[in-house]
């Protein structure tokens, strides 16, 4: 290694080992220091660390290292969200065991993370596929069962006929399985559910206190929970039955021109005709999410039954409609096509009336619709006794009248459903229950946990290997001792990630976690992850924490005090149209010149696409290993923090990373100039140094990493220009400390060269001298005849007389006065001098 170059290939590994040997980042629960729990969402072990992980973990790492420097005991753990489909897919495609595949991936990714030098407490590492972990999860599941929060119910599921599995709603994309692309069917199955709806009100109310969460995430959760106030009332049907419907817009009741029920509704199911049965079968195809049904073509079937309008007495036709969901409200609606878009499309298709009952003003009562429903506010029109009322008043009026008629009542309805956690999959936590012919469904005894997955499984036949396994499911009933069978469903992997942060905080052998130990760390002070988890993971984790608190197992309700969702790393794409199919190329395969790009292999042009999230499928990726090998961990870390605000996307650029690499070397040279014996004071530089220390601290605490980086650049420039002095040496040392959370290897190496004591990773954040934070010079404005004539830079706190004398001594001021008699001088200390002639 030459003396004036920093060589990461030797330094990075050396310091990583030094930190490991000194166990610098192992968190001590018994420490008396204030505690900080910094957590990034743990990764799925897909095989390679993605550049998005690098950005995410670098942010958390800077915060964790910084907090440690500020004297906190920091818990910054890492583990693996290791169950899930890709391992089974690999097993099917490559004939490997999901467990072996997962373990190999974990080993690779851990080595990658180590090369980036993250300050992680590896002593707490675990994977959710460790039997210890999922055994404790089984115990917690039984606790929730005891508390009445777990139940089984036959329910309709999205069934992927190719993967032979139930899909969560979000795994159904445009009516097709997210992985197989197969048309999703609906099936009824006995499923395990967690009663998240018991906590709907509390989960919603709790959002109000999460001030350090992004507003958009809170709003997404609020919408997902979906509390709506409305009216449930019954229509009298022509067949003599009653049909309850739910509406959030009772004010529009005079605009109802038909009634619609879900395909699974008893009214639909009881129809005795082939046409009806065919239509119901048709509705079973396609996705089940509200969002999908909104997009899909509206289809209906006229049942021939009519419903009597409670105020007009009109007979409204009753349809089966594909956009009505069975499990929301009552599974039946009064349809108001003028003011609901789905109803509008339906009425247009089937030639049903579209009356207007809401308008911008009473005069607009006859205004036609402009091709779509008007869902907004206004005044009520064409509605008998409601005419002229505001929407909210009309809602109250209708609820009052319906209640008086005894036909229904005001009601609150939630969009949030109970959480179906059953998966017909091998690679997950076995659900700890046993089915006995005599005793029914019996919980597995706690002392039989963990119920481990069998190793010898076959993935060549589709379906659930646990169901097919020759012996695994056969057990004795814990109650009667007779022959019984294990539950072969495994838990949704979102369960695994709903409590992992508690296990990081405390890891006893004999139970999932220790309550008091958990209390020392929780809640997580700063949680960092992708916006894609804004709803499900975060809501499930909030629910589990509440459910465990309800069982008396933890004292906290909200697991994550502060949440940050980072932006993505992006890059342009390169591709060619290969006879209708786009073939993509990696940035490494392409030569980029000015506006154009060519393929290195054949020198011919390739198309430059938009700058989008790096993804394997578009090949617009850079591999963390490659760039770390090329530039070292610190340049990569610095790049991740530099150019964009952390919540925004970060476009990867070769020029950008090269700039970071040059800055690493520039700092290296600067650190080499540190001279402990230099003398003399440079007040301006000292002031800049201390102001920067304070500002960088504020920036890091606010996760404004790019701002911190900009300030460090600025201070570095100032030091480079300054003459040798004690202040300059102090400034160099300060920069070394400021960059150490961001470029820990470079900083550690320079620290040791300077003869710094111990490891810099253990050092304290530099102290700020408050006296140096305030500028002790001020700029005084000097006015004459209402105009600014001169500005004076003077020491702060000069007396009125001194300021007056200085102002009058100014040449510019004298020119302006031009010999006139000075009648009065008004002085505002530290601000202004006004001369009156
Ligand atoms: C009449 C009406 C008039 C409606 C109008 C809306 C607008 P949110 O607000 O999302 O909770 N609805 C009720 N149950 C349904 C079901 N099972 N499947 C599909 N749609 C259903 O939605 C409540 C509204 O969605 C209800 O209010 C109902 O349509 C419809 F100008 O009733 B409304
Ligand atoms: Zn039994």
Give the range among 236-250, 302-316, 453-467, 488-502 with minimum mean pLDDT.
Answer: 453-467
More confident residue, 531 or 740: 740
> Which residue, by CA, sits nearest to atom 32 of ligand 1?
247
Instruction: State yes or no: pLDDT of 602 exceeds 90.
Output: yes
Burial of 516 (0-12, 13-18, 19+ CB in 10 A): exposed
* Pocket flag, ligand 1, residue 85 (CB < 6 Å): no
Give the angle subtended at the CA of 301 by the CAs of 297 and 306, to the nearest 5°.
130
Q: How does 746-780 read in b/e, with b if 16+ C-beta sit within 10 Å?
A: bbbbbbbebebeebbbebebbebeeebeeeeeeeb
Which mutation among 235, 340, 417 tests ligand 1's pocket best, with the greatest number of atoms within 8 A of CB? Answer: 340
Decide: 42 and 79 in contact? Cβ < 8 Å: yes
Q: What's the rounded mean pLDDT across residues 376-394?
A: 96
Share of the chain above pLDDT 90, in %: 82
Task: Identify each DSSP E strand in 496-599 by its residue range.
Answer: 526-529, 563-565, 569-578, 581-585, 590-593, 596-599
The alpha carbon of 422 and the centre of ligand 2 are apart by a number of angstroms equal to: 22
Q: What's the rounded mean pLDDT across residues 732-752?
A: 98
Q: What's the rounded mean pLDDT across residues 819-835?
A: 91
H helices within 182-299, ranges in order? 200-207, 215-225, 266-269, 274-284, 290-295
pLDDT per position as a tens digit, 780-793: 999 998 899 999 88
288: left (phi over 0), alpha (psi -120 to 50) or beta: alpha
The alpha carbon of 152 and the centre of ligand 2 are apart by a number of angstroms equal to: 18
> Which residue, by CA, sits nearest to atom 12 of ligand 1?
333
Instruction: State yes or no: pLDDT of 428 exceeds 60.
Output: yes
pLDDT per position as a tens digit, 173-183: 888 887 788 99
Query: What angle do helix axes 8-21 and 624-642 make, rounded to 10 degrees?
Result: 80
Q: Which pLDDT does position 796 carry in this prediction?
A: 83
**The two structure tokens encoding residue 740:** 């150490």
* Pocket flag, ligand 1, residue 331 (CB < 6 Å): yes
* Pocket flag, ligand 1, residue 289 (CB < 6 Å): no
> Which residue, by CA, sits nearest to atom 14 of ligand 1?
329
Q: Which pLDDT does position 2 carry in this prediction?
A: 44
Say which residue the tokens 């007040």 belong to.
683
Instruction: State yes or no: pLDDT of 1 exceeds 50.
Output: no
Of the candidates 616, 627, 693, 692, the one whose C-alpha atom is nearest the C-alpha of residue 660 is 627
Say which residue the tokens 């106030």 belong to.
229
Q: What's the CA gap between 329 and 668, in Å, rounded?
A: 66
- What number does the ligand 1 atom closest to the CA of 253 have? 1
Instruction: State yes or no: pLDDT of 222 exceeds 90.
Output: yes
> Which residue, by CA, sits nearest to atom 29 of ligand 1?
247
The alpha carbon of 437 and the centre of ligand 2 are apart by a number of angstroms equal to: 6
The alpha carbon of 434 and the centre of ligand 2 are apart by a number of angstroms equal to: 9
Ligand nearest to the CA of 482: 2
The alpha carbon of 433 and the centre of ligand 2 are apart by a number of angstroms equal to: 12
Decide: 476 and 483 in contact? Cβ < 8 Å: yes
* Pocket flag, ligand 1, residue 542 (CB < 6 Å): no
Q: What's the rounded mean pLDDT across residues 823-835?
A: 92
Q: What's the rounded mean pLDDT across residues 692-708?
A: 97
Whether omega before 450 lies within 30 degrees of 0, making that bond cis, reads yes
Instruction: State yes or no: pLDDT of 28 exceeds 90.
Output: yes
Which mutation among 224, 324, 328 tests ligand 1's pocket best, with the greatest number of atoms within 8 A of CB? Answer: 328
42: left (phi over 0), alpha (psi -120 to 50) or beta: beta
Which mutation among 200, 248, 310, 382 tests ligand 1's pocket best, with the greatest number of atoms within 8 A of CB? Answer: 248
Give the range among 253-262, 650-659, 721-730 with minimum mean pLDDT.
Answer: 650-659
* Pocket flag, ligand 1, residue 248 (CB < 6 Å): yes
Ligand nearest to the CA of 375: 1
pLDDT band at 51 (very low <50, low <70, confident <90, very high): very high
Q: What's the CA gap between 133 and 122, in Å, rounded?
A: 16
Ligand nearest to the CA of 340: 1
Ligand nearest to the CA of 436: 2
pLDDT per position as a tens digit, 435-479: 999 999 999 999 999 999 999 998 887 778 999 899 999 999 999
Query: What angle do helix axes 200-207 and 215-225 make, rounded to 10 degrees?
Result: 160
Q: What's the CA gap between 350 and 367, in Å, rounded?
A: 22
Mapping DSSP to helix (H, G, I), strand (E, B) and coil, where does residue 326 land?
A: coil
Q: What's the CA gap between 588 and 652, in Å, rounded?
A: 13
The alpha carbon of 229 and the centre of ligand 1 are apart by a number of angstroms equal to: 11
Beta-carbon contacts of 636 under 8 Å, excluding residues fewer than 6 positions away, are 54, 116, 624, 627, 628, 657, 660
Decide: 472 and 454 in contact? Cβ < 8 Å: yes
- What number does the ligand 1 atom closest to the CA of 413 have? 11
Q: What's the CA gap between 543 and 523, in Å, rounded?
A: 14
Which mutation among 253, 267, 288, 329 tests ligand 1's pocket best, with the greatest number of atoms within 8 A of CB? Answer: 329
The alpha carbon of 326 and the centre of ligand 1 are apart by a number of angstroms equal to: 12
Q: How does 173-208 read in b/e, with b if 16+ C-beta sit within 10 Å?
A: eebbbbbeeeebebeeeebbbbbbbbbbeebbebbe
More confident residue, 124 or 88: 124
* Pocket flag, ligand 1, residue 247 (CB < 6 Å): yes
Ligand nearest to the CA of 346: 1
Which mutation among 233, 235, 249, 289 tests ligand 1's pocket best, with the greatest number of atoms within 8 A of CB? Answer: 249
Q: Which pLDDT does position 162 carry in this prediction?
A: 86
Ligand nearest to the CA of 439: 2
Decide: 75 and 654 in contact? Cβ < 8 Å: no
Instruction: State yes or no: pLDDT of 777 exceeds 80.
Output: no
The alpha carbon of 466 and the centre of ligand 2 are apart by a number of angstroms equal to: 21
* Pocket flag, ligand 1, residue 328 (CB < 6 Å): yes
Task: Identify each DSSP E strand in 7-106 by its residue range.
Answer: 35-40, 73-75
pLDDT per position as a tens digit, 562-574: 999 999 999 999 9
* Pocket flag, ligand 1, residue 228 (CB < 6 Å): yes
Ligand nearest to the CA of 294: 1
* CA 685, 691, 693, 695 torsion-angle sign: negative
Please state the φ and ψ torsions of residue 219, each to the nearest 5 degrees: -65, -40
Instruction: State yes or no: pLDDT of 368 exceeds 90.
Output: yes
* Pocket flag, ligand 1, residue 618 (CB < 6 Å): no
Quickly list DSSP for 45-58.
--SS--HHHHHHHH
> Which residue, by CA, sits nearest to atom 19 of ligand 1?
324
What stretch of H or E contains 165? strand 165-167
* Pocket flag, ligand 1, residue 339 (CB < 6 Å): yes
Share of the chain above pLDDT 70, in %: 98
Beta-bridge partner residues of 834: 783, 826
More confident residue, 586 or 292: 586
pLDDT per position as a tens digit, 53-75: 999 999 999 999 999 999 999 99
pLDDT per position as a tens digit, 268-305: 999 999 999 999 999 877 666 566 667 788 999 999 99
Q: Which pLDDT does position 293 carry in this prediction?
A: 67
> Which residue, by CA, sits nearest to atom 28 of ligand 1?
247
Q: What's the CA gap between 363 and 76, in Å, rounded?
A: 65
480: left (phi over 0), alpha (psi -120 to 50) or beta: alpha
Q: For the chain, what is the mean pLDDT? A: 94
Ion ligand 2 residues within 5 Å by Cβ: 436, 438-439, 477, 479-480
Whether omega before 523 lies within 30 degrees of 0, making that bond cis, reads yes
Q: What's the CA gap between 607 and 524, in Å, rounded?
A: 45
Distances from the Cα of 352 to the Cα of 256, 259, 319, 348, 813, angstroms: 10, 11, 11, 6, 85
Beta-bridge partner residues of 759: none
Beta-carbon contacts of 335 under 8 Å, excluding residues fewer than 6 positions away, are 256, 257, 258, 259, 260, 321, 343, 346, 347
Q: What's the CA gap between 687 and 775, in Å, rounded?
A: 8
Q: Which pLDDT does position 292 carry in this prediction?
A: 67
Ligand nearest to the CA of 290: 1
Q: Which pLDDT does position 170 carry in this prediction?
A: 62
> Which residue, by CA, sits nearest to atom 26 of ligand 1?
247
Q: What's the rounded mean pLDDT across residues 775-784?
A: 86
- What number does the ligand 1 atom closest to the CA of 373 have? 31
The alpha carbon of 524 and the centre of ligand 2 are apart by a number of angstroms equal to: 43
Beta-bridge partner residues of 200: none
Beta-bridge partner residues of 827: 833
Give the DSSP letter of residue 96: -
- What number does the ligand 1 atom closest to the CA of 332 have? 17
Q: Which pLDDT does position 186 carry in this prediction?
A: 84
Ligand nearest to the CA of 357: 1
Of the candidates 145, 153, 183, the one whose C-alpha atom is nearest the C-alpha of residue 167 is 183
Please state the φ and ψ torsions of residue 33, each to the nearest 5 degrees: -70, 160
* Pocket flag, ligand 1, residue 333 (CB < 6 Å): yes
Query: Beta-carbon neighbour count of residue 129 at 10 Å?
Result: 25
pLDDT per position as a tens digit, 670-686: 999 999 999 999 999 99
Beta-carbon contacts of 444 under 8 Å, excluding residues fewer than 6 positions away, are 138, 142, 432, 433, 434, 451, 478, 486
Give the range among 161-165, 232-236, 683-687 with minimum mean pLDDT.
Answer: 161-165
**The two structure tokens encoding residue 305:** 């039954």
What pTM did the predictor assign? 0.84
Residue 788 C-beta-side C-alpha neighbours within 13 Å: 8
The alpha carbon of 148 and the centre of ligand 2 are apart by a number of angstroms equal to: 21
- What number does the ligand 1 atom closest to the CA of 228 have? 11
Beta-carbon contacts of 2 under 8 Å, excluding residues fewer than 6 positions away, are none
């Amino acid at each position: 290694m030459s003396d004036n170059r920093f060589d990461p290939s030797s330094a990075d590994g050396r310091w990583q080992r030094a930190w490991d040997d000194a166990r610098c980042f192992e968190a001590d629960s018994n420490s008396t220091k204030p505690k900080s729990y910094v957590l990034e969402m743990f990764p799925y072990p897909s095989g390679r660390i993605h550049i998005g992980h690098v950005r995410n973990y670098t942010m958390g790492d800077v915060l964790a290292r910084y907090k440690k420097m500020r004297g906190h005991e920091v818990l910054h753990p890492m583990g693996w969200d290791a169950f899930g489909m890709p391992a089974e897919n690999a097993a099917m495609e490559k004939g490997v065991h999901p467990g072996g595949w997962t373990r190999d991936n974990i080993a690779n990714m851990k080595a990658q993370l180590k090369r980036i030098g993250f300050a992680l407490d590896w002593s707490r590492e675990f994977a959710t596929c460790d039997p210890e972990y999922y055994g404790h999860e089984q115990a917690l599941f039984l606790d929730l069962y005891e508390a009445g929060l777990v139940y089984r119910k036959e329910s309709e599921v999205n069934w992927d006929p190719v993967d032979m599995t139930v899909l969560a709603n979000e795994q159904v994309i445009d009516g097709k399985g997210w992985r197989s692309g197969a048309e999703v069917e609906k099936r009824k199955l006995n499923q395990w559910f967690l009663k998240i709806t018991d906590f709907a009100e509390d989960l919603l109310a709790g959002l109000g206190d999460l001030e350090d969460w992004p507003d958009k995430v809170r709003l997404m959760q609020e919408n997902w929970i979906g509390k709506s106030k409305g009216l449930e009332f019954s229509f009298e049907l022509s067949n003599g039955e009653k049909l309850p419907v739910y509406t959030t817009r009772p004010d529009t009741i005079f605009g109802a021109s038909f009634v619609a029920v879900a395909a699974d509704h008893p009214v639909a199911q009881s129809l005795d005709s082939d046409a009806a049965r065919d239509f119901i079968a048709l509705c079973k195809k396609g996705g089940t999410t509200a969002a999908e049904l909104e997009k899909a073509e509206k289809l209906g079937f006229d049942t021939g039954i009519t419903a009597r309008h409670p105020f007009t007495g009109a007979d409204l036709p009753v349809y089966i409609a594909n956009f009505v969901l069975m499990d929301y409200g009552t599974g039946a609606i009064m349809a108001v096509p003028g003011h609901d878009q789905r109803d509008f499309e339906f009425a247009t298709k089937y030639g049903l009336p579209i009356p207007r009952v809401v308008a911008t003003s009473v005069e607009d009562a006859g205004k036609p619709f402009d091709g779509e429903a008007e869902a907004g506010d206004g005044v009520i029109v064409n509605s008998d006794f409601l005419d002229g009322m505001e929407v909210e008043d009309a809602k109250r009026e209708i609820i009052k009248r319906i209640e008086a008629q005894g036909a229904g009542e005001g009601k609150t309805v939630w969009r949030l459903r109970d959480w179906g956690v059953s998966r017909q999959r091998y690679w997950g936590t076995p659900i700890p229950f046993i089915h006995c012919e005599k005793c029914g469904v019996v919980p597995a005894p706690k002392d039989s946990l963990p119920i481990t997955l069998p190793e010898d499984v076959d993935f060549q036949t589709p379906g659930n290997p646990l169901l097919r396994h020759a012996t695994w499911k056969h057990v004795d009933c814990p109650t009667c001792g007779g022959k019984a069978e294990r539950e072969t469903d495994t838990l949704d992997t979102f369960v695994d990630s709903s409590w992992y942060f508690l296990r990081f905080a405390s890891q006893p052998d004999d139970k999932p976690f220790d309550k008091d130990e958990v209390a020392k760390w929780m809640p997580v002070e700063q949680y960092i992850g992708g916006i894609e988890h804004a709803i499900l993971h975060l809501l499930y984790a909030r629910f589990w924490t509440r459910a465990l608190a309800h069982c008396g197992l933890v004292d906290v309700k909200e697991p994550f005090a502060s949440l940050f969702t980072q932006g993505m790393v992006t890059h342009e794409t390169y591709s060619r149209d290969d006879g209708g199919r786009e073939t993509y190329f990696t940035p490494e395969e392409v030569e980029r010149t000015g506006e154009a790009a060519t393929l290195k292999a054949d020198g011919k042009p390739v198309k430059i696409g938009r700058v989008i999230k790096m993804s394997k499928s578009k090949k617009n990726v850079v591999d963390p290993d490659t760039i770390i090998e090329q530039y070292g961990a610190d340049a990569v870390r610095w790049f991740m923090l530099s150019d964009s605000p952390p919540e925004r996307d970060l476009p990867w650029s070769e020029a950008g990373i090269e700039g970071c690499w040059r800055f690493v070397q520039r700092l290296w040279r600067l650190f080499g100039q540190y001279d402990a014996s230099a003398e003399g004071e440079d007040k301006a530089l000292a002031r800049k140094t201390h102001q920067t220390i304070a500002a960088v601290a504020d920036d890091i605490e606010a996760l404004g990493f790019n701002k911190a980086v900009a300030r460090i650049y600025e201070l570095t420039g100032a030091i480079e220009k300054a003459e040798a002095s004690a202040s300059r040496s102090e400034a160099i040392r300060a920069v070394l400390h400021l960059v150490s959370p961001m470029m820990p290897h470079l900083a550690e190496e320079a620290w040791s060269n300077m003869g710094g004591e111990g490891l810099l990773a253990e050092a304290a954040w530099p102290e700020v001298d408050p006296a140096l934070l305030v500028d002790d010079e001020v700029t005084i404005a000097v006015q004459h005849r209402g105009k600014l004539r001169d500005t004076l830079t003077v020491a702060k706190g000069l007396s009125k007389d001194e300021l007056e004398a200085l102002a009058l001594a100014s040449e510019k001021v004298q020119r302006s006065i031009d010999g006139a008699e000075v009648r009065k001088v008004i002085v505002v200390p530290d601000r202004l001098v006004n001369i009156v002639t």
